[in-house]
Structure 1
């Protein structure tokens, strides 16, 4: 079975969501719009009716490198036999493949290791979580002087896109990761069309698409929250502060406002998935400063 149907994927991921799950409905919507800059997958596979799981596979340019897959198999609802069958089908698509899996999803980890997958090392991601029952601690993260935080307006679509592009400029990200910058890096691929696609997804809420406005009226930072009414959860994805406005507390202030707005919509918990290793520690420190704690580790597994 093959599907790229967004509604089916959202239902599949939302049906069994817990904070330990790698994908939130917001991740699914964000990936669907290719807002993260990822290309369309070469192969898509799905299992079950209604949908129990799916995988997007990006094949390598040469046989030297493994394929990369984004794999979701709904916990609690897939049997060991179904998990094994799904992994077998994935291996028929690409015999050498890397996938990211939460260690807390033990049955999926067992199905992968039984087929020869092993932890491959390298960067990993933490699932950080907090309750929204009491947000009084957020008073310690006010909006910095000279800025205001508000929802993005429909008449500033180009400016909303441009602040994203500045925050996630590839050369800037390389510098933050201590990677060499050649000067030939392309600019961010985020565009007005992509943001319109984001806004068209069924889980987008304008109340959670926030920007920080500087004193001169320019946009200095942004944060996008994704609310899932079924689980009462909100995901931060993505959040960014412009290079001339960094280290002033805008990121935490934006996330604090997203949590308050999400609580008003009915959210009871917040989740985010930053890097967990020491290669890029700043985002994790930001969220831990908002009393978010690690509840899962998402690591790479690969075939030999």
Structure 2
């Protein structure tokens, strides 16, 4: 995806955004930079000009498995016929395909059902939201003794990358998910080059790239906020606390500071999409502690 494609996708998501929508401009930018470590898709699809919808498709290694797709189609800008035509084209590329959609987009759910998709179960994600009109409740989330929270500095590139790698170490994530650790997980793929790609996206704001600093000057936690000035919304993606600093409220304190900074930059609302099921409840509890409430459920559908 080149710069023009990214700009088109950002504009498309901005035109359609509601708090119930699966994608925010921050998700698009984060994915474009491969911040989450995902591979480049095998196929991409785009619908209409100006862009009204798009899909990334990862084809399976085995014919026994369905393809995986990241799909953005919005009933706010596409007619029912356009939705169905887009799904037909998707199924031509990947007859067996799995994707995630919000249950609250009922017109899209109807189109999926008409084209043979059924809810497939498994882990699902909650879309959480809050207003930034009154942030007085954040005063309760004080910074733990011995730490300070501020925006990352330009001279901290290596340290910023390293705290991300510690927080999102693959073996650590597997343990938090209750999965077996084999010793073959390797290290995080996040790198200086990848972080530079993140910061080069047009919606990155250094003021919303927050870190928690320990007494010895090392970075203990981080959180990245993505501001969409048009909708006045800020997204958390990602947030992490280092393993030796966990359980002290640093993640919540970092997010509280992002909310304050985003409000000062003009944001009026915040969203985040943690796991909604019980398989990994900690992130959801963190955000609900910031008075974020569920406004949508993003679930997986697949072709029958």
Question: TM-score, structure 2 length as denominator?
Answer: 0.98
Structure 1 equivalent of residue 120 of structure 2: 120
Contact 1:3 1:46 in 2 (8 A): no
Alignment coverage as a number of residue pairs: 303
Instruction: After the TM superposition, list the runs of 4 or more consecutive aligned residues in structure 1 that deviate by more than 4 angstroms.
Output: none
Contact 2:74 2:108 in 1 (8 A): no
Contact 1:12 1:74 in 2 (8 A): no
Three-state SS of the structure 1 residue aligned to 2:187 is: coil
Superposition map of 1:5-154 within 5 A: 5-154=5-154
Contact 1:4 1:44 in 2 (8 A): no
Q: 1:152-195 CA distances to partner (integer Å, 9 max, x unpaired)?
A: 11111000000000000000000000000000111100000011
Distance in 2 of aligned mates of 1:90 and 1:12: 18
Contact 1:224 1:237 in 2 (8 A): yes
Three-state SS of the structure 1 residue aligned to 2:239 is: strand
| Aligned-pair CA distance for 1:120 | 0.3
Q: 1:239-258 CA distances to partner (integer Å, 9 max, x unpaired)?
A: 00000000000010000000
Contact 2:12 2:51 in 1 (8 A): yes
Distance in 1 of aligned mates of 2:23 and 2:270: 13
Label 1:3 to 1:227 Cα distance change in 2 as closer, same or farther (>3 A): closer
Distance in 1 of aligned mates of 2:84 and 2:74: 13
Q: 1:17-51 CA distances to partner (integer Å, 9 max, x unpaired)?
A: 11000000000000000000100000000001000
Distance in 1 of aligned mates of 2:95 and 2:275: 27
Q: Residue 266 in 1 paired to residue 266 in 2?
A: yes
Distance in 2 of aligned mates of 1:142 and 1:47: 47
Three-state SS of the structure 2 residue aligned to 1:5 is: helix
Unaligned stretches of 5+ in structure 1? none
Question: TM-score, structure 1 length as denominator?
Answer: 0.98
Superposition map of 1:201-212 within 5 A: 201-212=201-212
Q: 1:237-279 CA distances to partner (integer Å, 9 max, x unpaired)?
A: 0000000000000010000000000000000000000000000
Contact 2:53 2:72 in 1 (8 A): yes
Distance in 2 of aligned mates of 1:279 and 1:31: 24
| Aligned-pair CA distance for 1:3 | 10
Q: 1:83-113 CA distances to partner (integer Å, 9 max, x unpaired)?
A: 0000000000100000100000111111111
| Aligned-pair CA distance for 1:16 | 1.7
Structure 2 equivalent of residue 241 of structure 1: 241
